[in-house]
Chain A
Amino acid sequence: QKEVEQDPGPLSVPEGAIVSLNCTYSNSAFQYFMWYRQYSRKGPELLMYTYSSGNKEDGRFTAQVDKSSKYISLFIRDSQPSDSATYLCAMTSFNDYKLSFGAGTTVTVRA
């Protein structure tokens, strides 16, 4: 079993739709949770960062963490064609700081 599981998709949605992405994990020591966006032929860039459980909102993006279920989510509201990318979840524990990544979900937003 992989430490971090992420549905690779692909996911195709019309412009303006809500995009819902999620990851599950097995390591209960994980406390820091991140979402990265990776455009084609580019390196990942940090989109959202949360610590422990709860919600965090930044513009059109909302990250949710449910540590009891070992489940994290990213929602993109009012999706735009420019949101078309691969979204990677990543997480780490307090003492480790080594990032464990999911496989990434490829999202296409159709104009």
Chain B
Amino acid sequence: EAGVAQSPRYKIIEKRQSVAFWCNPISGHATLYWYQQILGQGPKLLIQFQNNGVVDDSQLPKDRFSAERLKGVDSTLKIQPAKLEDSAVYLCASSPRQGLVNEQFFGPGTRLTVL
């Protein structure tokens, strides 16, 4: 079974530029998560999708971050404009359905550096 795929793996941009990350979850997984993991910290949930609907985006900085999940499969996370404090690893995870806390599978992440 293929895992969660993410691209790009690394991205370096200057502050105030825009950036987008892509995630392809495990086939058939209805729930998709985006996490932000700042160096030396645990992952923090940014947004959770159930199929193509948003379940929780309470910790998403909506003035600069946006996310969508087209057709309930792939998802993109965008930052516009980026700030220095956005430097982090952005992890995508998926699970078969909402509530399965022990069946949440993570992708390798996209490491973003904002200069």
Complex Cα distance A103/B4, Å? Answer: 23
Is the beta-carbon distance between B42 and A104 smaller than 8 angstroms?
A: yes
Tell me the A1-22 residues at the B interface (CB within 8 Å).
4, 6, 8
Size range of the chain B interface in the assembly: 20 to 34
Is the beta-carbon distance between B42 and A4 smaller than 8 angstroms?
A: yes
- Chain B, 78-115, contact with A by CB distance < 8 Å: what is the 0/1 string? 00000000000001010000110110111111010000
The answer to whether the Cβ of A43 comes within 8 Å of any Cβ in the partner chain is: yes
Is the beta-carbon distance between B101 and A97 smaller than 8 angstroms?
A: yes
Nearest-neighbor residue (CB-CB) of A102 within chain B: B42
What is the size, in residues, of chain A's interface with B at 8 Å between Cβ atoms?
22
Distance to closest chain B CB from A108 (angstroms): 16
Partner of A99, one of B40, B45, B98: B45
Is the beta-carbon distance between A97 and B98 smaller than 8 angstroms?
A: yes
Is the beta-carbon distance between A46 and B104 smaller than 8 angstroms?
A: yes
Complex Cα distance A32/B103, Å? Answer: 12
Partner of A34, one of B48, B56, B101, B106: B101
Residues on A facing B (Cβ under 8 Å) = 4, 6, 8, 32, 34, 41-46, 49, 88, 90, 92, 97-99, 101-104
